[in-house]
Structure 1
């Protein structure tokens, strides 16, 4: 008997659809190749029936989904899907942990993952006795893709930052041993699929994202680095994510963050890995086991 075709929603916010158009096409093509019906659904067009007996999710005349690939950076949507019996990629637990840097660091610190000294703090508590020495980094706990990162060189920078009335919820860290250089490791189904080293040539720029002018190249992980990554992958189910690391002065890795809706441009630029195809192969396997 031929298996029943699975139907899923690929959820993006409208602002992200245009700049992710090529990757969206790759995901849709990979699904079609496996006879999985996958529809692009703008986050803003979804309706959530919180109460009543009707189907909780609607989007025009779209068919009710068996699964959801949520790349809208809204973990509660993953949770609501799971409440309704819909398989969410990533799971709601992974999405919730990944999309709040405070939770990410707290979760992995308890599992012995090396990381910079990190504090969740409000601007009012950012006193000389309660912060790292200059220079240090202030981050938006909900920032992604290099957004919400502020390099604080001195008191003037700090006062300027505070005067702008920025986020009331902050993450504060010292500057790593090798600022402007990081490593992104791509994970599908808890397995390493590739790693990309990203660097910036600017002495004033901490972020090595391609969107901020960084360069990238494929990186070969050594056994010690793989073992360090395995602590993370053994601690939770990761359907598809990027794990970012900073470098200490001795070249060893420091955990930086986990990207739920990870950008994949640098991996396509530097390798033959079709991560969209790898991911949909994994999705197919998970759905066939349900």
Structure 2
């Protein structure tokens, strides 16, 4: 295998629904002479101590880099401890995969966002920190999972048993069911899509049945996004924004293993090829 090869890591349950993107990445990896080997999170046996190997046994499988889309930042950290380049970096993966850290990090540079409060399930049920209605999220959720619109005490009690033990609580945005996802590779804005739910559903994720179309960013919006990029220095992320009452972007969350279906459904942009070109430049 080429000396500079990489590992593409997914959880088993995510492979089927990401097959198109995985195939695009695999093809693009050979085009830039950085071939990828797909490996599942569940089959990995990592050396975490007393060895310079990455996987448990096969020295020949020591990768030059990893693309970890399993939403498990500790793998990135182990890779970096063995001087293996990880995409995204362990720092970005850790921040992106915990909404509490994402909001705290970006609040330091005055990025507009909704009031965001961390609490436990027990405290939320006994003493809600915001007036109804509000939104409750699992801080580790992704793809629109574990997001609940709570409009009354009765509704809170009804859903409480299904809530994660750790939560963030936010007020309802001005345009629920609508958001803008911005795709970023390195220091470049690649494109943006406006995503909308078909009905009153709070979440606009395409995987949950929403619609999407290309969104043309204006100069003020680009300036805001570049401020985030300059501060975080990500490799490949999705930045999701809500729209306020004046149509201005309000930061919502950052996706580490960002879903790209909405972009290649609505444009000719081959984001997999662009990303692998970036990986080749970085390795």
| TM > 0.5 | yes
Secondary structure at the counterpart of residue 194 of structure 2: strand
- Give per-residue Cα distances to partners, 1:85-132, cap 9 Å, x unaligned: 100000000000000000000000111100000001112222686522
Residue 237 (structure 1) aligns with: 233
Aligned equivalents of 2:279 and 2:148: distance in 1?
Answer: 37
Q: Shift in Å at residue 62 of structure 1?
A: 5.9
Please show how residues 1-290 of structure 1 align to structure 2 within 5 Å: 5-53=3-51, 55-58=53-56, 63-126=61-124, 130-162=128-160, 164=161, 166-203=163-200, 205-287=201-283
Aligned equivalents of 2:270 and 2:57: distance in 1?
Answer: 30
Secondary structure at the counterpart of residue 61 of structure 2: coil
When the two structures are superposed, what TM-score results if normalisation uses the length of structure 1? 0.93
Aligned equivalents of 2:122 and 2:15: distance in 1?
Answer: 37
5+ residue gaps, structure 1, are: none
- Whether the 8 Å CA contact 2:99–2:253 is kept in 1: the answer is yes
- Whether the 8 Å CA contact 1:8–1:68 is kept in 2: the answer is yes
Evaluate the alpha carbon distance shift between residue 54 and residue 193 of structure 1 in structure 2; reply closer, same or farther with a 3 A threshold: closer
When the two structures are superposed, what TM-score results if normalisation uses the length of structure 2? 0.96
5+ residue gaps, structure 2, are: none
Aligned equivalents of 1:30 and 1:59: distance in 2?
Answer: 28
* Number of residue pairs aligned between Structure 1 and Structure 2: 282
- Whether the 8 Å CA contact 2:187–2:233 is kept in 1: the answer is yes
Evaluate the alpha carbon distance shift between residue 59 and residue 8 of structure 1 in structure 2; reply closer, same or farther with a 3 A threshold: farther
Aligned equivalents of 1:127 and 1:266: distance in 2?
Answer: 36
Aligned equivalents of 2:166 and 2:47: distance in 1?
Answer: 30
Aligned equivalents of 2:244 and 2:57: distance in 1?
Answer: 47
Aligned equivalents of 2:63 and 2:4: distance in 1?
Answer: 8
Moved over 3 A (4+): 58-62, 127-130
Aligned equivalents of 2:51 and 2:74: distance in 1?
Answer: 20
- Whether the 8 Å CA contact 2:54–2:62 is kept in 1: the answer is no
Q: Shift in Å at residue 190 of structure 1?
A: 2.2
